[in-house]
Amino acid sequence: MIKQPHILLVYTGGTIGMIKDADTGVLKAFDFTSLLVKIPELRLLDCSIETISFEHPIDSSNMSPKYWIEIATIIRDNYSKFDGFVVLHGSDTMSYTASALSFMFENLAKPVILTGSQLPIGDLRTDAKENLITSIEMASLQKDGQPIIREVGLYFEYKLYRGNRTTKLSAEHFEAFESLNYPNLAESGVHLKVNSEYLLKPKSNSKLIVRTAMDSDIGVLKLFPGISRAICEAVLTSKLIKGLIIETYGSGNATTESWFIDLLKKAITNGLHIVNVTQCVRGSVNMGQYETSSQLKTIGIISGKDITTEAAIAKMMYLLGENLDAQQFQYYFEKSLRGEMS
């Protein structure tokens, strides 16, 4: 007899778990322990489901590495008991959490799918039910008794994306996320269509390692025409920052003013890891393509290639937690570790 997949739903907070009080209209948390009673459709799924919830669910604007560790620990502690995991999460910072979890789990061989919704689960026109039901179906997909998806994904509005490739682009459309530099992993139509060629294929026998030393002493500096020397100096000479992501123009270009280049050079000499990520939502950093990026390459700025800022932040926290020297840091940052860059 074929065993039904066993799925763990982890509720962290967000609109998906809210229900509107019929009298007052105020949104309040939905009791996830009674999920199967409130959404009887879930019983029709060909899997068994258990739920676990944060003791105090949060709006994802309050997300932080402390909660990433809580999610990762829940999954680690239940890893052998379940075939797949669905993490219910507010959409606002879901791409950051998906990215962070992807780095925290090394040798992940089971699906971890994040989902949420734009409208509360109790709303008439809610997108929560479809997102929840299809995420569970995606997490249940198996071939020869093994999970088909073996990475951290993000499911929203009929599409499954690689989590660390996503960005939230819309605050009002049901189609809130996009993966602009990587194809979708799967789509939900009349049938579920998995694009197998784009899935990560981890070595099946390696043991799961969960890395929890996320160091958040980092900064993000978005360049804009007219950015002042004083502001750049304040950031680049700060003793509080160990890693800095610079959001540059186009294919990784920045001003060639000598004060800017000198500040960067000095910061690198003083041990700051600086990564170049483009402000463009599509395409890649390619230092050396233009004169305005050649010097950045020469002085030792790390290329973020086509990584999203969300994934770059998570990757930087993860690599800083590993206490690498400058050369190793650059090597690992420029290498795709979980399919986060091309």
What is the set of active-site residues? 15
DSSP 8-state code for residue 5: P
Q: Which two tokens stand for residue 75?
A: 């999954």
Q: What is the 3-state secondary structure (H, E, C) of 181-248?
A: CCCCCEEECCCEEECHHHCCCCCCCCCCEECCCCCCCEEEEECCCCCCHHHHHHHHCCCCCCEEEEEE
202 closest CA partner among 300, 75, 327, 110:
110
| CA-based R_g, the chain, Å | 21
Please identify which residue in 92, 127, 137, 340 interacts with ligand ASP, judged by CB under 6 A: 92
Residues 47-86 binding ligand ASP (CB under 6 A) are 59-61
282 CB contacts (<8 Å, ≥6 apart)?
180, 181
Minimum CB–partner distance for residue 265 and ligand ASP (Å): 39
Minimum CB–partner distance for residue 67 and ligand ASP (Å): 12
Please identify which residue in 90, 147, 153, 252 interacts with ligand ASP, judged by CB under 6 A: 90
Which range binds ligand ASP by CB under 6 A, 87-95, 106-114, 253-261, 306-314? Answer: 87-95
Nearer to ligand ASP, 306 or 310 (CB): 310
What angle do the packed helices 94-104 and 65-78 form, to 10 degrees?
A: 50
Residues 276-295 binding ligand ASP (CB under 6 A) are none
Query: Is there binding between residue 120 and ligand ASP (CB under 6 A)?
Result: no
**CB-facing half-sphere around the CA of 54: CA atoms within 13 A:** 23
Distance in angstroms (rounded) separating the CA atoms of residues 38 and 58: 21
Nearer to ligand ASP, 29 or 52 (CB): 29
Which range binds ligand ASP by CB under 6 A, 10-18, 36-44, 68-76, 190-198? Answer: 10-18
Backbone angles phi, psi at 275, to 5 degrees: -115, 135
Q: Which two tokens stand for residue 278?
A: 């483009």
Nearer to ligand ASP, 130 or 334 (CB): 130
Query: Is there binding between residue 308 and ligand ASP (CB under 6 A)?
Result: no
Query: Is there binding between residue 15 and ligand ASP (CB under 6 A)?
Result: yes
Tell me if 123 sits within 8 A of 27, measured CB to CB: no
Q: Which two tokens stand for residue 314?
A: 């998570």
Which range binds ligand ASP by CB under 6 A, 1-9, 21-29, 88-96, 101-109? Answer: 88-96
Minimum CB–partner distance for residue 179 and ligand ASP (Å): 18
Degrees to nearest 5, angle at CA 99 with 105 and 307: 125
Query: Is there binding between residue 12 and ligand ASP (CB under 6 A)?
Result: no
DSSP characters over 311-322: HHHHHHHHHHHT
Query: Is there binding between residue 219 and ligand ASP (CB under 6 A)?
Result: no
Q: Calculate the alpha carbon distances from 28 to 33, 50, 71, 161, 234 in Å.
A: 15, 22, 22, 29, 42
Interface size with ligand ASP, residues (CB under 6 A): 10
Please identify which residue in 57, 65, 111, 116 interacts with ligand ASP, judged by CB under 6 A: 116
Please identify which residue in 35, 85, 91, 275 interacts with ligand ASP, judged by CB under 6 A: 91
Query: Is there binding between residue 170 and ligand ASP (CB under 6 A)?
Result: no
Query: Is there binding between residue 269 and ligand ASP (CB under 6 A)?
Result: no
- 226 in helix, strand or coil? coil
Nearer to ligand ASP, 14 or 243 (CB): 14
Cα-Cα end-to-end distance for the chain = 41
Query: Is there binding between residue 243 and ligand ASP (CB under 6 A)?
Result: no
Minimum CB–partner distance for residue 10 and ligand ASP (Å): 15
Minimum CB–partner distance for residue 94 and ligand ASP (Å): 7
Binding site for ligand ASP (CB under 6 A): 13-15, 59-61, 90-92, 116
